[in-house]
């Protein structure tokens, strides 16, 4: 098919990549550990772990899973952790043992956790002690036979670990009481595994690497089956895309998005591993003062985040005082970056925010070109070896400029949904992934996400995209954040209701906000109600959860 976006590719970016350059993610891991052994791979709370140490500790964990637990190739291991040093150790340990990683959001409710564990069939889970009480509620109804429990400071230096764990458990009371009969400490697994020999496991590109569960507005989440080849291809695609901006063995990336999120897992963890980069892990990105203190010592070269994170940082005086002279790359993903945030970030740091697009089923699909200088409002161009079509409800490709469902085909697209053949058949057709996202494409092949099909609001027979209304709302002076949903209405079927968060110290008037909307929106797109909130519900990565606004 024709790929008009190729004409807009930056110099030296190839049209296609070789997804089979490496046999597995383990091969990339081994290469980087060998080449960058003395360099720090990850840092958290001021303590670093080198590539050589990561190789040793992940080997010990892999050997323990393989021999003490007797897990065989292809079995699932769940990881329920925030961004701590334990995550990469467990991640690469599981992959080296030929196992499938089931990423679990640490903020899951007992119901959501039970579903994910039962659906995946995981028999082992690594979990932070802070969340172990959630597991304890439902563990008997799952196939979990071994819970590995870790505390926040377990991989920090000896005395720092003692202090951090003491404060978390006894002073801040962050570890609720729990009872897990079949539990073992993470440090104990590493100590026992260090005495074992890891048996080599033949892992190929077609083997499963991850079950990446989708966020679902309705119903229960589905597990997207991502193979080693899927992730290897995505790594090669991103490396080809941003390679001119990054240097092997010199990069320092701020990792604030959770590593269990597919975008951060691919773009931060795996890609910067390929570059021999250092990832500064932020366990709690919502605590902005602590966030800034953690990154202050580092002359970071890259950062990824959501609009909400970038917005909070540019309003923090301590962040404004940091040295941005080494920063070369800023990437926004997971939710649209607002123009006002992007422009203020550019003014402050001198670096534009590249927006990208992806989903659990295909972690990275599009990215802004690295040579952009200003806010684009879109999600960029499809990365190499990626085909994208926009289709109408009858499956026909729409003309440039028209709205259509974004469909993608490429080596990064998942194999299907775990144990859900009917769902897979609906989502994958002739190799194309039907994303459910509504987008437009300009003549140069640049894409703009309009909204989710499931988020469309039907007002008097007209489809209304909530993001369009939200963009207008946040353009009103004094509005920090906004969201829009549909509510039942006898006359129009659905009416629009806006939720607005004022900036600190600002007093807003609903009538004034509606008058502002009338300047930019037709009558059927005007909110009927405006409700002020102190904050909006968000997912673990900071995306606003419209479905929770009632």
Across 137-156, average pLDDT:
97
* pLDDT recorded at residue 451: 74
Say what the pLDDT of residue 463 is.
73
- 372 HSE (CA, 13 A, CB side): 28
With a cut of 70, say whether residue 9 has pLDDT above it. Answer: yes
- Regarding the domain delimited by 21-438, which CATH topology (the fold level of the hierarchy) does it fall under? Rossmann fold (3.40.50)
What is the rounded distance in angstroms from the CA atom of residue 246 to the CA atom of residue 267? 13
pLDDT of res. 352: 96
**Summary mean pLDDT of the chain:** 93
Range 509-516 average pLDDT: 95
Q: Up-side HSE of residue 291: CA atoms within 13 Å toward CB?
A: 23
Asked if residue 57 has pLDDT above 60, the reply is: yes
pLDDT digit string, tens, across residues 86-105? 999 999 999 999 999 999 98
Ranges assigned E (strand) in 216-320: 223-227, 252-255, 278-281, 302-305
Task: Quote the pLDDT of residue 461.
Answer: 66
Judge contact between 300 and 252, C-beta under 8 A.
yes
- Return d(Cα 54, Cα 90) in angstroms, integer: 10
Name the band, by pLDDT with cuts 50, 70 and 90, for residue 215: low
The CA distance from 81 to 219, in Å, is 24
Q: In what order do the strands lie in the sheet with 329-332?
A: 47-50, 40-44, 278-281, 252-255, 302-305, 329-332, 353-359, 362-367, 381-382
The CATH-assigned architecture of domain 456-548 is: 2-Layer Sandwich (3.30)
Q: Residues 335-338: contacts with CB within 8 Å, 24+ apart? A: 335/306, 335/307, 335/308, 335/542, 335/543, 335/544, 336/307, 336/449, 336/467, 337/306, 337/307, 337/310, 337/375, 338/307, 338/311, 338/471, 338/474
> Tell me: the pLDDT tens digits for 167-199?
999 999 999 999 998 899 999 999 999 999 999
pLDDT at 218 over 50: no
In this predicted structure, the answer to whether residue 263 has a pLDDT above a threshold of 80 is: yes
pLDDT of residue 307: 85
Q: What is the pLDDT of residues 315-343, one digit of tens each?
A: 999 999 999 999 999 999 777 788 889 99
Average pLDDT over residues 215-227: 74
Domain boundaries, the chain: 21-438, 456-548
Element holding 150 (H helix, E strand):
strand 146-150
What is the predicted pLDDT for the residue at 331?
A: 96
**Structure confidence at residue 540 (pLDDT):** 72
């Amino acid at each position: 098919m024709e790929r008009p976006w190729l004409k807009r590719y930056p110099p030296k970016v190839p049209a296609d990549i070789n997804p089979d350059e490496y046999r597995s993610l383990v091969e990339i891991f081994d290469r980087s550990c060998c080449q960058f052994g003395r360099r720090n791979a990850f840092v958290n709370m001021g303590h670093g772990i080198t590539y050589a140490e990561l190789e040793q500790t992940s080997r010990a964990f892999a050997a323990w899973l393989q021999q003490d637990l007797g897990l065989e190739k292809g079995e699932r291991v769940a990881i329920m952790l925030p961004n701590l040093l334990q995550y990469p150790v467990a991640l690469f340990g599981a992959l080296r043992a030929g196992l499938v990683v089931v990423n679990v959001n640490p903020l899951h409710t007992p119901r959501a956790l039970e579903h994910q564990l039962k659906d995946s069939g995981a028999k082992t889970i690594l979990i932070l002690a802070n969340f172990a009480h959630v597991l304890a509620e439902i563990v008997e109804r799952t196939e979990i036979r071994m819970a590995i429990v870790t505390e926040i400071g377990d991989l920090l230096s000896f005395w720092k670990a003692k202090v951090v764990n003491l404060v978390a458990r006894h002073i801040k009371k962050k570890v609720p009481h729990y009872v897990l009969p079949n539990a073992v400490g993470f440090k104990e697994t590493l100590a026992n595994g260090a005495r074992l020999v890891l048996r080599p496991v033949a892992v190929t590109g077609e083997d499963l690497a991850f079950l990446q569960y989708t966020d679902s507005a309705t119903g229960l989440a589905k597990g997207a089956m991502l193979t080693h080849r899927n992730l290897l291809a995505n790594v090669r695609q991103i490396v080809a895309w941003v390679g001119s901006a990054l240097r092997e063995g010199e990069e320092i990336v701020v990792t604030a998005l959770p590593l269990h999120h597919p975008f951060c897992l691919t773009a931060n963890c795996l890609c910067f591993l390929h570059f021999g980069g250092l990832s500064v892990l932020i366990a709690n990105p919502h605590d902005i003062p602590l966030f800034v203190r953690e990154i202050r010592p580092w002359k970071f070269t890259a950062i990824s985040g959501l609009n909400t994170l970038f917005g909070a940082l540019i309003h923090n005086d301590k962040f404004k005082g940091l040295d941005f002279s080494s920063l070369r790359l800023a990437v926004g993903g997971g939710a649209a970056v607002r123009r006002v945030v992007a422009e203020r970030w550019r003014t402050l740091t001198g670096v534009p925010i590249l927006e990208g697009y992806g989903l659990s089923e295909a972690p990275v699909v599009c990215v802004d070109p690295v040579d952009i200088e200003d806010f684009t409002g879109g999600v960029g161009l499809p990365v190499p070896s990626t085909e994208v079509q926009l289709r109408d409800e009858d499956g026909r490709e729409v003309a440039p400029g028209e709205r259509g469902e974004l469909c993608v085909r490429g080596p990064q697209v998942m194999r299907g949904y775990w144990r859900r053949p009917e769902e897979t058949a609906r989502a994958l057709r002739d190799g194309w992934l039907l994303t459910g996202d509504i987008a437009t494409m300009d003549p140069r092949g640049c894409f703009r996400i309009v909204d989710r099909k499931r988020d469309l609001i039907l007002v008097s027979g007209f489809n209304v995209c909530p993001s369009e209304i939200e963009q207008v709302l946040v353009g009103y002076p004094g509005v920090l954040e906004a969201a829009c949903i549909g509510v039942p209405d006898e006359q129009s079927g659905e009416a629009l209701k806006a939720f607005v968060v004022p900036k600190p110290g600002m007093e807003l008037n609903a009538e004034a906000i509606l008058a502002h909307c009338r300047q930019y929106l037709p009558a059927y797109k005007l909110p009927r109600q405006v409700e002020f909130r102190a904050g909006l519900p968000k997912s673990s990565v900071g995306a606003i959860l419209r479905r929770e606004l009632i």
